[in-house]
Every structure is written in structure tokens, then in C-alpha cells.
């Protein structure tokens, strides 16, 4: 067991190097823990979401034996810690602070195919203990590999698990614990949807972002509006209409083709063609793209900054005519978003 359970010095301090001002800011950057029994799919999830591994390749992954830390270069600097499932972290011999201190959210991966009594017990123990020392941690339970169950069994399984966890925690005196439940599978976009929700719980500006997106959706007649992290395809906010997996998939594929086309044709240096004010104006505007006449739908994308893009699906037949107005509105939204997200 001496193998590689890190102590506190492997944490944020290594990045500090005396840069106190930055360190304090970096310490606020939340950490995400992936926990769950062994073979429940934690490493597969982090590889599929953050390393773009194809889902079918994940069967070749080895068992994780040490804590895998992965820094993500998304709109926020997260650290994802993938904890091996075979270790009891509540053991007193562990430096709990080094693992759980500064954690923003914990994802508990629960194998829907397994006999889940054991992991539910582990989970409630862990939540109960951590709630006492680290009350700010938010928990998400991924009821994973849900694709292996038949349609009619899925709802029952999710309901049963939810009920058991709630009851168990109620018995030890935890009412309304901060736990959310997602049924996931790496073979469709549900894992991205669930990760998006987890990430959103860590974005303090979320209510503001959502109301901004609602406003723009109403004023430009958009059906669905997302704020996407381009690299990971996680969305950090959307309007508050109901969740639509197909719309998410469409937007994610839209980003894919734009990224791929940019790779093929983006070989010019912008500085070769423009300089001074013109260049600045061009960069300030950001990339823009749209696809119209998709059986009455229009897709619209506007780059917010290097990481984030605004994507909307519109069903308004007057989109082409009102394009300049929409451009203006989205331009205003962009300025506001940059201020809200503190990038300016």
C-alpha cells in the first residue's frame, strides 16, 4: 500500500513556487474526485470525457492502482483525481485532508449491473463521514453502464438505488444530502450530459449564466441555447428549458466539424494578412458560424473566447432576415459573458 498514495505536498503546493497571489486563486480551483468500487468504470469515464478515447477502446484499460491526477485545460482549471476503488479511504491512517481538502465535487460511479448493495453501503459511509469535515462537497452518483439494462429495468434500478441511498443517509441523520443522480453510459452522450451537470454545480456564476441565456433565447427566438467548452464538449450552462440529449449531440457534432474544418483550413497566420487595429478587431469579434435550412432549423455558433463557444438552435423561419440583429444581440451577450466569467 506504500505505493503512491500521495501526501499533501503533491497537491496544489507544488505549483505555487512562492507565487502567493496566484496560489490563493489556484486553491479555489476545485478538484473533482472519481470514486466507486473497482471495475465500475471510473478510469473509462475520465478517458472518454477528457482524453477523447473511443468507448470501445476502454476495455483495454488496466486497473488503476494509484491516484491518477489529471489537470484539465478547459474553461476552468480543474484537477480530476481518479481514485483506485480497492482502497478504504476512511481508514484513519490516510491523510484525509490531502485527498478531500479542496474537493469541489465527488462523482461516485456505481455499476448498475453489479449487486449494488455493497457500493451503496460504501457510498453512504463515505458521504456521512465527509459531510462532517467537508460540508461543501457536492456529490453526484453516476448509475453507470445503464446501456446494458433493458429499457423497462432502467427506471426501476435508478429509483431503487436513489431510494436506498436516501433511506440509509436518513437513518444516520442526514436529511436532504447534496446528492444528484445521473444514469450514464460511455457509449452515448449521457456521460457528457452528466459531466456537464457536475461541472455546472462548480460554476458559481451558473444562475447568472442561465438567466442570460434565457434572455437571449427569448429575444432571438432560439429553441435551445448552450455555452460549450469546445475541447471537452461539456456545456457549462444552457437555457432552462428541458434537457434534450439530441440537441446536445447535434451541437457537439457541430463543434466537431468546425474544429476539424479549422484544422484543415486554419493554416494561415492571421498576422500575415492583417495588422494593428484590423487584426485586433478581427480577434475581438471571434469566430462565427451558422448552418441554415436544416429542415427548417438553423444552427448558430459564436466564439466567446478560446475555450467557450455559444451555440444556438433556431427554428425561426425569419432567421436569415434577422441575422444582423441576432449578431448584434449575441455580440452583447458575449461582452457580458466575458465580464461575468471574469475573463476581461
Partner 1 sequence: MDNLKTKPAKKKILLMGKSGSGKSSMRSIIFSNFVAKDVRRLGATIDVEHAQFKFLGNLILNLWDCGGQDAFTETYLTSQKSHVFSEVGVLIYVFDTESRQFHSPNSKIDLDTYAHIINALHQYSPHAHVFCLVHKMDLVPNDRRDEFLDNKSILINHYSGGFKNAVRTYGTSIWDQTLYLAWGDIVQCLTPNLDLMRNYLSKLGQATKAEEIVLFERATFLRVTDVTTPTGEENPYSDRFERLSNLIKTFKHSLQMYTGQGASHPFGEFTISCPRFNLVLSRLTPNTYVLVVLPPGGMDLVNTRLNIMGVRDGLAALDQPG
Residues near partner 1 (CB under 8 A): 246-247, 249-250, 253-254, 256-258, 260-270, 273-274, 279, 282-283, 286-297, 303
> Nearer to partner 1 by C-beta: 131 or 298?
298
Strands 103-111 and 222-229: unpaired
**What is the smallest separation between the CB atom of 206 and partner 1, expressed in angstroms?**
26
| Rg for the chain, CA atoms, rounded | 22
Calpha distance 218→185 (Å, rounded): 33
The angle, 0 to 180 degrees and rounded to 10, between the axes of the packed helices 42-50 and 190-201 is 90
Calpha distance 145→190 (Å, rounded): 11
Sheet of 138-144: strands edge to edge?
68-73, 77-82, 31-36, 103-111, 138-144, 179-183
**What is the smallest separation between the CB atom of 316 and partner 1, expressed in angstroms?**
14
> Nearer to partner 1 by C-beta: 70 or 327?
327
> Nearer to partner 1 by C-beta: 153 or 318?
318
> Nearer to partner 1 by C-beta: 273 or 343?
273
B/e letters for 160-174, b = 16+ CB within 10 Å, e = fewer, are ebeebbbebbeeeeb
Contact 81, 34 (CB under 8 A): yes
Residues 6+ apart with CB under 8 A from 289: 254, 258, 300, 301
> Nearer to partner 1 by C-beta: 61 or 281?
281
Closest by alpha carbon to 33, among 73, 95, 85? 85
**What is the smallest separation between the CB atom of 3 and partner 1, expressed in angstroms?**
34
> Nearer to partner 1 by C-beta: 19 or 275?
275
**What is the smallest separation between the CB atom of 224 and partner 1, expressed in angstroms?**
11
Q: What dihedral do alpha carbons 86, 91, 96, 99 form, nearest 10°?
A: 0
> Nearer to partner 1 by C-beta: 189 or 196?
189
Calpha distance 222→210 (Å, rounded): 14
**What is the smallest separation between the CB atom of 287 and partner 1, expressed in angstroms?**
3
> Nearer to partner 1 by C-beta: 10 or 243?
243
**What is the smallest separation between the CB atom of 296 and partner 1, expressed in angstroms?**
8
Calpha distance 145→157 (Å, rounded): 12
Calpha distance 8→135 (Å, rounded): 20
Calpha distance 264→226 (Å, rounded): 26
> Nearer to partner 1 by C-beta: 94 or 297?
297
**What is the smallest separation between the CB atom of 304 and partner 1, expressed in angstroms?**
13
**What is the smallest separation between the CB atom of 267 and partner 1, expressed in angstroms?**
6
How many CB atoms sit inside 10 A of residue 15's CB? 13
**What is the smallest separation between the CB atom of 278 and partner 1, expressed in angstroms?**
8
Amino acid at each position: 500500500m506504500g505505493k503512491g498514495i500521495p501526501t499533501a505536498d503533491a497537491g496544489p503546493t507544488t505549483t505555487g513556487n512562492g507565487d502567493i497571489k496566484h496560489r490563493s486563486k489556484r486553491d479555489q480551483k476545485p478538484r473533482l474526485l472519481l470514486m466507486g468500487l473497482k471495475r465500475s468504470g471510473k478510469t473509462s469515464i475520465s478517458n472518454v470525457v477528457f482524453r477523447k478515447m473511443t468507448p470501445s477502446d476502454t476495455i483495454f484499460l488496466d486497473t488503476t492502482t494509484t491516484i491518477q491526477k489529471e489537470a484539465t485545460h478547459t474553461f476552468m482549471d480543474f484537477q480530476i483525481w481518479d481514485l483506485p476503488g480497492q482502497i478504504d479511504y476512511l481508514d484513519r491512517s490516510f491523510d484525509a485532508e490531502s485527498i478531500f481538502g479542496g474537493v469541489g465535487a465527488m462523482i461516485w460511479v456505481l455499476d448498475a449491473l453489479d449487486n449494488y448493495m455493497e457500493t451503496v453501503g460504501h457510498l453512504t459511509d463515505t458521504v456521512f463521514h465527509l459531510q462532517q469535515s467537508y460540508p461543501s462537497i457536492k456529490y453526484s452518483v453516476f448509475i453507470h453502464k445503464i446501456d446494458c439494462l433493458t429499457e423497462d429495468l432502467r427506471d426501476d434500478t435508478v429509483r431503487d438505488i436513489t431510494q436506498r441511498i436516501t433511506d440509509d443517509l436518513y437513518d444516520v441523520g442526514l436529511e436532504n444530502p447534496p446528492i444528484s443522480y445521473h444514469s450514464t453510459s460511455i457509449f452515448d452522450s449521457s456521460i457528457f450530459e452528466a459531466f456537464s451537470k457536475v461541472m455546472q454545480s462548480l460554476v458559481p456564476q451558473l444562475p447568472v449564466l442561465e438567466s442570460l441565456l434565457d434572455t437571449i433565447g427569448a429575444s432571438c427566438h432560439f429553441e435551445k441555447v448552450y455555452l460549450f467548452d469546445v475541447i471537452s464538449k461539456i456545456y457549462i450552462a444552457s437555457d432552462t428549458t428541458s434537457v434534450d440529449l439530441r440537441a446536445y449531440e447535434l451541437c457537439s457534432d457541430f463543434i466537431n466539424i468546425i474544429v476539424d474544418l479549422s484544422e484543415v483550413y486554419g493554416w494561415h497566420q492571421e498576422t500575415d494578412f492583417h495588422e494593428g487595429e484590423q487584426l485586433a478587431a478581427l480577434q475581438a469579434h471571434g469566430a462565427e458560424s451558422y448552418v441554415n435550412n436544416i429542415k427548417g432549423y438553423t444552427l448558430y455558433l459564436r466564439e466567446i473566447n478560446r475555450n467557450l463557444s455559444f451555440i444556438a438552435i433556431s427554428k425561426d423561419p425569419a432567421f436569415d432576415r434577422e441575422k444582423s440583429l441576432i449578431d448584434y444581440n449575441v455580440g452583447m451577450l458575449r461582452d457580458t459573458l466575458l465580464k461575468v466569467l471574469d475573463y476581461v
